[in-house]
Structure 1
């Protein structure tokens, strides 16, 4: 590990994180992590752990982490969508050149329904954006 550890550690959970204060300044020179809060990234809620009171530095560090985390998650979402486009292209190539009739029978209905649903949503959302641009 590096010579200097961060002051806070965020244990990521599905909807946010548990926040720990990191302490290395103790007699045993051990790393101690003391839970100070729980964060919900979806609604922005910061709940102090137990009967703790969070200081301004704590809140600022948590809010900074939340902003960075939301940016990372947004970037990952776009990356996942672009990977989906790649997978759709690979699936098209597979269906055209390698798939057996039995394999196609196993996936065709599911793929067609999912693609129809996606197409409907994309067309509706694009029409909404175009209508909004026309009124602006």
Structure 2
């Protein structure tokens, strides 16, 4: 089992991670995790934990993880948007074929405002992109 564990473990949090070095080479043959850094992806920061000095290898591995994490989060963002399009389509079908008057009354104003806000943002962003091309 020890040979299968990675050398580093990243405990993901909202804007980054806590970075641990995984150690299985000890007398008790147990897994020890020693925190070595805190990562803030939004700011691109790597802060050593406590009085620790990070090696070039530590920093390189952490930067690689940060790049992979950003790619994953970007992928998730666009996937969530594609799901939102599916939800909008499902919502339209529900409103047209299944919703009661009381259900529609409960959600219509909130949906209309959210869709108006979204439409306003999308139209403005599309116009900005079109102006940039010209």
Give your verdict on TM over 0.5: yes
Distance 1:43 1:126 in 2: 28
Distance 1:98 1:6 in 2: 51
SS of equivalent residue, structure 1 residue 3: helix
Distance 1:4 1:123 in 2: 51
Which ranges of structure 2 fall in alignment gaps of 5 or more residues?
A: none
| Post-superposition CA distance 1:28-66 (Å, at most 9, x none) | 111110000000010101110001010000000100000
Distance 1:21 1:42 in 2: 22
- The equivalent of 1:118 in structure 2 is 118
Q: CA deviation at 1:2?
A: 6.9
Distance 2:9 2:3 in 1: 16
Matches within 5 A, 1:72-87: 72-87=72-87
The TM-score, its normalising length taken from structure 2, stands at 0.98
Q: CA deviation at 1:4?
A: 2.0
Which ranges of structure 1 fall in alignment gaps of 5 or more residues?
A: none
RMSD over aligned CA atoms reads 0.9
Does the 8 Å CA contact 2:24/2:30 hold for their aligned counterparts? Answer: yes
- The equivalent of 2:104 in structure 1 is 104
Distance 1:4 1:112 in 2: 52
Distance 2:60 2:127 in 1: 41
Q: CA deviation at 1:3?
A: 3.5
Distance 2:16 2:44 in 1: 9
